Each structure stands twice: as C-alpha cells, then as structure tokens.
Amino acid sequence: MRKNQQGASYIAILIAVIGFAFLVKIAIAVWAPYWDDRVVDSQITELLQSSPADTDPSKFASQMSQRLEMNNVRDLKFDEIAQVTNIDGLQVKKDYEIRKPFLLNIDLVLKFEKSFDQRSVQTK
C-alpha cells in the first residue's frame, strides 16, 4: 500500500489542457455566426412589427440591409440569406449556412433556418 496520496500525473494534466483548448476553439469558432443570426432574427421581427401589411418585399429587403449594416453584421447579405414575399402580409423565409474552417481540413457547417409571418409576429 502507498503511504502518500498522489495527484494527477503530468500526462493527465496535459490531456485536460488540450481538451479545454479544443472546447475553447469550438466556442470561438461558433460564437460569431450564432450571434449574427440572433441579431438578424431580432431585426426581422422588429421590422415586421413596424411595417404595414402592404409593404413591398424589395423595400423590406433594403430596410433590412440597412439595419444589418447598422448592427455591424457585414458578413451576411440579406438578399442572399432570406426571401421576402407579400401574400396575405409579409412573410420572410431565412435559410442559409456558414462554413467555418476549424482544424486542418475539417470545417464546421452551421445551418440556420427560420420562417417569419407578419401576422404572427404582430400578435405577440
């Protein structure tokens, strides 16, 4: 039997540090796209609440582009990530994906999809 208690070995500490660094790298790579998507969702909701029902889809798209520019979302172009229609009120369908290089030849693929309907947004 051993008389002394021994702590973690150097190899266990090294593996823990590498694991922690790996998790931090994932968090840093994924944080910005999720934050931008959250900003896009909030701006679409705010603009749908304040817009009249007969708004032209191209006018809505240009206003959204201005809002995204003001909120420092410069990597995403609204015309490329969303489609706006005006059938019984404005409807916005957001569908896009982002590829982030992660490690060597491994990429992280983040897919964002959401639909907005002006009537349901205004009732909230």
Question: CA neighbours within 13 Å on the CB side: how many for 74?
Answer: 2
- For the chain, what is the domain count? 1
Cα dist from 107 to 36, 99, 101, 104, whole Å: 19, 6, 4, 8
**In angstroms, rounded to a whole number, what is the distance separating the alpha carbons of residues 61 and 79?**
7
In a domain, 21, yes or no: no
In a domain, 26, yes or no: no
In a domain, 7, yes or no: no
In a domain, 76, yes or no: yes
- The DSSP secondary-structure symbol of 71 reads T
**In angstroms, rounded to a whole number, what is the distance separating the alpha carbons of residues 34 and 52?**
29
Question: Which of helix, strand or coil describes residue 88?
Answer: coil
**In angstroms, rounded to a whole number, what is the distance separating the alpha carbons of residues 75 and 39?**
12
Written as tens digits, the pLDDT of the chain (124 aa) is 567 767 778 898 999 999 999 999 999 989 999 999 999 999 999 999 988 888 899 999 999 999 999 999 888 999 999 999 988 888 999 999 999 988 889 999 999 999 999 888 877 6
In a domain, 115, yes or no: yes
Range of the domain at 88: 31-123
In a domain, 15, yes or no: no
What is the predicted pLDDT for the residue at 2? 63
Of 83, 102, 91, give the one whose Cα is nearest residue 33: 102
What is the predicted pLDDT for the residue at 22? 92
Rounded to two decimals, the pTM is 0.80
Question: Which of helix, strand or coil describes residue 52?
Answer: coil
What is the predicted pLDDT for the residue at 93? 95
In a domain, 23, yes or no: no
